[in-house]
């Protein structure tokens, strides 16, 4: 693992130049050190040789194979040791193909809705950011950069929830890399442990703004939606005096939104505040190519 870095400038917002996002230097370094270099210089295990190195010259075909077959478009089981690659390798492959894109779509969502978040954060000192299916700290990184820039006096506590310990390890590495600049970070593998955590004042204090983040998570094949809704219905009612914000993002695919529709219908006291339900933007990939994406999103709030 790469150690703690002095990332002064990490909190510069990624550049948006003529509608295209590009990473600034320190963020670029973070992605290079934690994603690109470990991927390119991965030890030649028999599995990595067969699934990655032997494929390298096949251009788009290899991308398609990695994204659709190995990663199942981000929905593979990252905790399973079955299949062709061990969990840590699947996580690294996920980071290479999806982390930057998801990081930037979170940046885009925060930027588009900056007024909403700034208003909510204006009169409070603490935010508890609960990231369901946090992956490699993707939205956490984006939110912290956003929060430091737009409401620097408000402290964030980050609860990373992911059933895959290899993902939580990667999230921890990203947090450590960003060093002293980053936030208190707590790991949870099973979201049913959340109620016990929120009971503790280390995670939530009177007046905290609660943010529940569902970024590319609700279409997971390893999610029991009814179980999640039941837990949250019981839990959120206990915190109804807090302002609670729910963030949703997923790719533009109607079958990916079914769970969101069900989820939303279970929380009628929450109203939508998103400036738009679709985000579209271009960005520069880790291979310095231009890529355009569209994402469906929503922001709900109880107050």
Ligand X SMILES: C[S@@+](CC[C@H](N)C(=O)[O-])C[C@H]1O[C@@H](n2cnc3c(N)ncnc32)[C@H](O)[C@@H]1O
Question: Is there binding between residue 167 and ligand X (CB under 6 A)?
Answer: yes
Tell me whether residue 241 is exposed, middle or buried, using C-beta atoms within 10 angstroms of its C-beta: 0 to 12, 13 to 18, 19 or more. exposed
Binding flags for ligand X, 223-242, as an x/- string (CB under 6 A): x-------------------
3-state secondary structure string across 135-193: CCCHHHHHHHHHHHHHCCCCEEEEEEECCCHHHHHHHHHHHHHCHHHCCCEEEECCHHH
Within positions 170 to 199, which residues make up the interface with ligand X, using CB under 6 A?
Answer: 191
- Interface with ligand X (CB under 6 A), residue from 134, 178, 286, 297: 134
DSSP annotation of 65 reads: I
Q: Binding segment for ligand X among 44-52, 146-154, 159-167, 281-289 (CB under 6 A)?
A: 159-167
As a dihedral over the C-alpha atoms of residue 102, residue 90, residue 80, residue 106, rounded to 10 degrees, the angle is: -10
Question: Is there binding between residue 141 and ligand X (CB under 6 A)?
Answer: no
- Interface with ligand X (CB under 6 A), residue from 104, 161, 198, 204: 161
Question: Is there binding between residue 164 and ligand X (CB under 6 A)?
Answer: yes
DSSP annotation of 273 reads: -
Question: Is there binding between residue 133 and ligand X (CB under 6 A)?
Answer: yes
**Cβ 86 to ligand X, closest distance in Å?**
14
**Cβ 24 to ligand X, closest distance in Å?**
20
Alpha carbons 239 and 246: distance in angstroms, whole number: 14
Question: Is there binding between residue 162 and ligand X (CB under 6 A)?
Answer: yes
Beta-ladder partners of 209: 127
The residue behind tokens 């302002």 is 243
Question: Is there binding between residue 140 and ligand X (CB under 6 A)?
Answer: no
The residue count of the chain comes to 303
Question: Is there binding between residue 220 and ligand X (CB under 6 A)?
Answer: yes
As a dihedral over the C-alpha atoms of residue 203, residue 210, residue 27, residue 10, rounded to 10 degrees, the angle is: -70
Q: For ligand X, which is the closer residue by CB, 32 or 165?
A: 165
Within positions 43 to 82, which residues make up the interface with ligand X, using CB under 6 A?
Answer: 74, 78
- Interface with ligand X (CB under 6 A), residue from 34, 107, 108, 138: 138
Residue ranges in contact with ligand X by CB under 6 A:
74, 78, 98-99, 102, 133-135, 138-139, 161-164, 167, 191, 215-217, 220, 222-223
């Amino acid at each position: 693992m790469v150690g703690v870095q002095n990332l002064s400038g990490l909190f510069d917002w990624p550049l948006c130049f003529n509608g295209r996002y590009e990473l600034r230097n320190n963020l670029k370094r973070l992605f290079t050190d934690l994603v690109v270099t470990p991927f390119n210089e991965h030890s030649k295990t028999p599995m990595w040789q067969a699934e990655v190195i032997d494929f390298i010259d096949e251009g788009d075909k290899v991308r398609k194979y990695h994204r659709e077959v190995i990663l199942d478009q981000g929905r593979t089981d990252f905790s399973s040791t079955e299949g062709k690659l061990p969990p840590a390798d699947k996580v690294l492959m996920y980071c290479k193909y999806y982390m930057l894109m998801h990081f930037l779509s979170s940046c885009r969502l925060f930027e588009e809705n900056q007024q909403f978040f700034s208003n909510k954060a204006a009169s409070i000192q603490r935010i508890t950011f609960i990231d369901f299916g946090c992956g490699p700290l993707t939205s956490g990184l984006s939110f912290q950069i956003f929060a430091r820039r737009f409401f620097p006096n408000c402290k964030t506590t980050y609860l990373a929830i992911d059933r895959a310990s290899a993902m939580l390890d990667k999230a921890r590495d990203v947090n450590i890399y960003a060093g002293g600049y980053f936030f208190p970070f707590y790991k949870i593998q099973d979201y049913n442990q959340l109620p016990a955590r929120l009971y503790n004042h280390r995670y939530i204090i009177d007046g905290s703004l609660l943010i529940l983040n569902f970024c590319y998570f609700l279409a997971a094949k390893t999610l029991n939606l009814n179980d999640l809704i039941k837990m949250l219905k019981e839990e959120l009612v206990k915190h109804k005096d807090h302002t609670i914000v729910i963030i949703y993002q997923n790719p533009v695919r109607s079958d990916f939104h079914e769970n969101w529709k069900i989820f939303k219908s279970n929380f009628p006291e929450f109203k939508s505040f998103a400036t738009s339900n679709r985000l579209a933007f271009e960005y520069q990939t880790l291979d310095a190519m231009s890529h355009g994406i569209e994402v469906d999103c929503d922001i709900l709030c109880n107050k």
